[in-house]
Structure 1
Amino acid sequence: MLTPEYLTRIVESTQEKVSEVNAYLVARIARRIKELFESTGKVDISPSSISDINKQIAAGGVYEDVQSEIEKKLPGIQREVKRAFYDAAGKISYDNAVFTKKVVEIEQEQGNLLDIDLPKATKLERIGIPEDASKLNMTPKEIRVLESAYRRTNGEIYNLTRTCAGEAQRDFIEACDRAFFLVKRGVSIDTAIMDAINEVASKGITTVHYGRRNDSIESAIARAVRTGVNQANGDIVLTRCAEMGVNHVLVSQHVGARVTKSDDYTNHSLWQGKVYRVDWSNPALSQYEPTPQEIQENSSSFSFLDKIKGFFRSKSDNGKYQDFIAECGYGQMLGICGINCRHSFGAFYPGVNINTNETIDKEANEEKYNLEQKQRGMEREIRKTKRVKNAIEASGLEGEEFADRIREINRLIKAQTESYNSFCAEHADKGIKPINWRLKVAKVEGISNS
């Protein structure tokens, strides 16, 4: 099954691509802010420069900048998303093949399922990313599930990026108004412009309102990809379970699982690491059951699935295991494989497979969860400060106030990074380690953020 570590790493390349877009767009807005107040090569804020018509003209330029950059970068982002999906699909397909081979061989030793001839898992599934779904050892229905999840995630990313131009335009207008407001109250022009740029860069380009916070474009897209990949994983596993009559699944576990005040599926620490019964009479699972037409599709390479389905379905656990849907909330926004969840699950055959997961201490799990939440917060603050530095440097401002501000930011970055590393070192025994890629902000036109 897909591990929590894998589901963390799977979005790295996509997030890096999106970070480049965010950094570029913030830098463009910074330049536009300065240009609005620049006349004959001199920066000067006056009522005429901040007039509504001039603001709207400049804001229109921001909108066009953002739209143009998104259109150029979106194909590259989507390529990274596809790589993530197909990399995961290869692992899922291989796991399915290994599971099937193991349980069938054990049953054949007992004199059962002697007429089953299983295909071999391909080398490609073990070591590489297939060029297309036809290279996977998956049934036609499983491939359709994969491609549907990929299209759904791509559609979500397209919708997220569409909001960027409008958000950037609003941020630009608010920043210009802030600069004018500060100058009217005696703040120097350069300081006012840098403060306005600081405000834009601190937020970055936001796309969605998630809970009580606005998320940056890279956070929103990373969450969409991780969730999309994991939901594809869950749907493919359940499809294979339905095709071959498997009645149980084993859920992954990790220290630091989501903790809530509820005793239901939203509290992931309660249900992780256990075996669950899949109740195929539940209407929520009907979509995974193969139709007669789909069984016919499998009649060549995957005919073994229908042959063993009746045998597997006849096995009963005598009520030993809890219901998967009810306990883990599969299909729910905050349940297993829901938003940003790093749990996954795989097919399980009682009496053949063994659940080797050891019980995770409740207090240790909650402590790790809280430490990871604090670590993510520190990482966001470091990225924010680096974005501010990039934006101010890219604005084209000069002079002593500019140099002072950059020195101040450099000191802050150093202090934040030292604090972050100290925090990780202090809690290394709890599994808290520095994650350098989470501290990166893309360079803008050769400007380093080191």
Structure 2
Amino acid sequence: MLTPDYLDTLPDALVELWQQVEDDILRDIARRIGKMPDRDTLTDTAAWQAWRYEQMQACHQDVLSLLSRYSGKSKAEIRRMLLDAGLATLASDDALYQAMGFAPSAIDTNQALNNLLNAGYRQTLGSWQNLTATTASTVTGELERVLDRAWLQVSSGAFSYDVAIRRAVDGLATHMNGVTYPSGHKDTLEVAVRRAVLTGTNQTCAKLQLARAEEMGCEYVEVSAHAGARPEHAVWQGKIYHRGGAIVYDGVRYEDFETATGYGTGEGLCGWNCRHNFYPFFPGMSVPNYTADRLAELNARDIEYNGQKYTRYEISQMQRALERRVRRFKRQYLAEDAAGVDATAAAAKLRAARRDLNDFVRATGGRNNSVRTSVSGFGRSQASKATARAKAYEKEQERAILIERLRNAGNLPKTAQIHLTPTAIDVDSLGFDDEHINRQREHGVTSAQAKEWIKNAKISITVWNQHYERYIGEEGAVYVNLEQNEIRTAFSSDEFEGALPTLIEEMRKNGLLR
């Protein structure tokens, strides 16, 4: 029997290999999109069509070349996986048979088992080769689609050149089809390889197990169970079934193996992406591995997250979604960088996605799977650069939010420019309107005091069509007429009224004042 954990990690090496293929293709396409002609060339339909055709032909050839470099590694990895899995599942079942006094034949002397193993390899490899044979045309179709959309957006004036490029690249980073099934359904390379390899391996091992059961005369099997099973599988996992029809034995009814579990169908046991398996069982001799209470525990809503209870399956699906977000923004960052557009926003989204995933894993008691978030070309150097960009972006966003808070607190118009670092000014050269400040307004402020308040100001605000600069601090406020290079008014904090006290309080709340 292959355990659920074994099956979960079984395709990882091959998936990682083909994730690299997918990511390399994405960056190549992004570079091509980034070289899209400017708007003047785009309006020349003949020139645009010629460039577009050239890019599609080159992309098709590059993908074929890339696939050929990985085909040998894929064949070897598929053979290794099937052989390891086949030997492991037979060894597990044979240990149970031997404990019951049976003597299973060695696999190297059993031609029927070897034939099944080789047939499983050929079928799994053939399925994968049939899918990857569609990759070049599928990817070229994706390039054609995004180029045509970008051309329409730019030539019509709906979007600027840079925005159209970024939208095209981001769309592919989110989802780029890499294979086309005979039904016409399209999927990414990553999804297709995981499904093909996991399904092919599990089905091959199941056939080996059933052949061994026939050899040993075993009519009953117990199906494995695991937390996080999809609901339609949870109803039959962990139970004992009879091969060859439902039966009552020793007063106990055993349902038919294939009918109950859907074995042999894509939706059932050992079907698409299924991590369940089975093993021999002898009523009256074997001890069931799963009690009703244990199965209830596996299917229970016993994981708390954000004040609600979830099953392990629901939690696993939530984690998969968060993992896909991390990969998406890694790919988006690399693709935007390859296309020559600013990837700062993508870096910030990636940082937030990683934070969300880590928080979720800690809160739910799960574990991070680096394979599911890895992206070829995104190593330590790229991670460091992306993090630096994200931090700078977040700092700028925090700065923008603070400025808006100050604007609202000070009842300032949208045209007012708020500077968290006060605008530099030659204080010594400033004139001082003593007539207005002290005789008319009676503020009782000296020129030296006002200039000192400017030096100690925590923010400054440009107003009145950039004619005035207001310097605000804990000691007082000073308004400078920039055109006349003169302090027009100044007053101490004791005279703050209107919106100024609220502005000062907001500054204090945000650490701008002690």
The residue aligned with 1:197 is: 169
Q: Which of 286, 295, 316 is the matching residue for 1:360?
A: 295
Q: What is the aligned residue count?
A: 372
Contact kept, 8 Å, 1:202 with 1:384, in 2: the verdict is: yes
Q: Could you list the per-position Cα deviations for residues 356-395 of structure 1 after superposition, in whole angstroms to 9, with x for gaps in the alignment?
A: 2133224438722122112212212221211121122223
Identify the match of residue 99 of structure 2 among 98, 102, 105.
102
Q: Which one of the candidate residues 34, 56, 59 is aligned to 1:59?
A: 56
**Matched-pair contact (CA < 8 Å) for 2:246–2:255:** no
**TM-score, with length taken from structure 1:** 0.76
2-structure distance, mates of 1:444, 1:63 = 24
Native 8 Å contact 2:218 2:281 kept in 1: yes
Q: Describe the shift of the 1:385–1:118 C-alpha distance in structure 2 as closer, same or farther (beyond 3 A).
A: closer
The residue that corresponds to 1:335 in the other structure is 268
Partner secondary structure for residue 350 of structure 1: coil
Does 1:369 find its partner at 2:313?
yes
Structure having the larger proportion of residues in strand: 2
- Please identify the structure whose Cα radius of gyration is greater: 2
CA 1:251–1:96: 2 relative to 1, 3 Å: same
Q: Counterparts of 1:138 and 1:328 in 2: how far apart (Å)?
A: 32
* 1:1-54 Cα distance to aligned partner (Å, 9 max, x none): 101111010010000000110011111111222334279xxx965435862233
Q: Counterpart amino acid of 1:448? A: Q
Q: Contact 1:160 / 1:217 at 8 angstroms: preserved in 2?
A: no
Counterparts of 1:389-428 in structure 2, within 5 Å, are 389-395=333-339, 397=340, 402=341, 405-428=342-365
CA distance in 1, matches of 2:336, 2:381: 11
| Residue type of the alignment partner of 1:246 | C
Q: Deviations over 1:301-332 (max 9, x none)?
A: xxxxxxxxxxxxxx965653221111111111
1:27 is aligned to 27
SS of residue paired to 2:275: coil
CA gap 1:79/1:188 in 2 versus in 1, 3 angstroms: same
Q: Indicate whether 1:437 and 2:371 are aligned.
A: yes
Give 2:253's aligned residue.
Answer: 320
Local SS of the residue matching 1:271? coil
Offset from partner CA, 1:140-168 (integer Å, 9 cap, x none): 11111111111111111111111111111
- The alignment partner of 1:104 has SS state of coil
What amino acid maps onto 1:433 in structure 2?
A: R
Offset at 1:78?
2.0
The equivalent of 2:439 in structure 1 is none
| Contact 2:199-2:274 at 8 Å conserved across structures | yes
Cα distance change on mapping 1:433 and 1:370 into 2, 3 Å: same
Q: 1:223 matched to which residue of 2? A: 195
**Selected match of 2:324 from 380, 383, 397:** 380
Contact conserved, 1:22 with 1:205, CA < 8 A, in 2?
no
Aligned twin of 1:271: 236
- Does the 8 Å CA contact 1:94/1:137 hold for their aligned counterparts? no
Does 1:79 find its partner at 2:57? no
Equivalent residue of 2:35, what SS? Answer: helix
Residue 220 (structure 2) aligns with: 248
* Residue 234 to residue 252, structure 1, CA distance change in 2 (3 Å): same
In structure 2, the residue matched to 1:157 is 128
| Structure 2 letter corresponding to 1:375 | Q
Give, in angstroms, the shift of residue 190 of structure 1: 2.8
Deviation at 1:449, TM superposition (A): 5.1
Distance 1:65 1:156 in 2: 23
Name the amino acid aligned to 2:200. Answer: G
Counterpart contact for 2:245–2:256, Cα < 8 Å = no
Q: Distance between the aligned counterparts of 2:72 and 2:354, measured in 1?
A: 33
Amino acid paired to 2:315 = L
Identity %: 28
Structure 2 residue 10 is matched with structure 1 residue 10:
yes
Q: Separation in 1 of the partners of 2:174 and 2:381?
A: 18
Q: Distance in 2 between the 1:138 and 1:350 partners? A: 30
What are structure 2's unaligned runs of at least 5 residues? Answer: 303-309, 385-514
Give the Cα–Cα distance (whole angstroms) in 1 for the partners of residues 184 and 235 of structure 2.
25
Change (3 A) 1:144 1:95: same
Amino acid at match of 2:12: E
Q: Report deviation, 1:183.
A: 2.2
**C-alpha separation in 2, matches of 1:258 and 1:94:** 28
Structure 1 residues without counterparts, runs of 5 or longer: 106-116, 122-135, 260-266, 283-314
Cα gap change, 1:199 to 1:50, in 2 (>3 Å): farther
Q: 1:49 to 1:408 in 2, by over 3 A?
A: farther
Q: What is the Cα-based RMSD across aligned positions, in Å? A: 2.9
TM-score using structure 2 length: 0.67
Mapped to 1, the partners of 2:85 and 2:223 lie a distance apart of 17
Q: Secondary structure at the match of 1:170?
A: helix
How many angstroms does 1:280 deviate by? 7.6
Which residue in the other structure is 1:311 paired with?
none
- Separation in 2 of the partners of 1:444 and 1:433? 21
Contact 1:27 1:394 in 2 (8 A): yes
Residue 118 of structure 1 deviates from its aligned partner by 6.3
- Partners of 1:58 and 1:212 in 2: CA distance: 25
Structure 1 residues 109-150: Cα deviation after superposition (integer angstroms, max 9, x where no partner): xxxxxxxx666x7xxxxxxxxxxxxxx456211111111111
Alpha-carbon contact 2:120-2:201 (below 8 Å) kept: yes
CA distance in 2, matches of 1:385, 1:49: 36
Contact map agreement 2:86 2:205 (CA 8 A) in 1 = yes
After the TM superposition, which residues 269-308 of structure 1 pair with which residues of structure 2 at under 5 Å, given as runs? Answer: 269-279=234-244
Compute the displacement of 1:57 (Å). 2.2
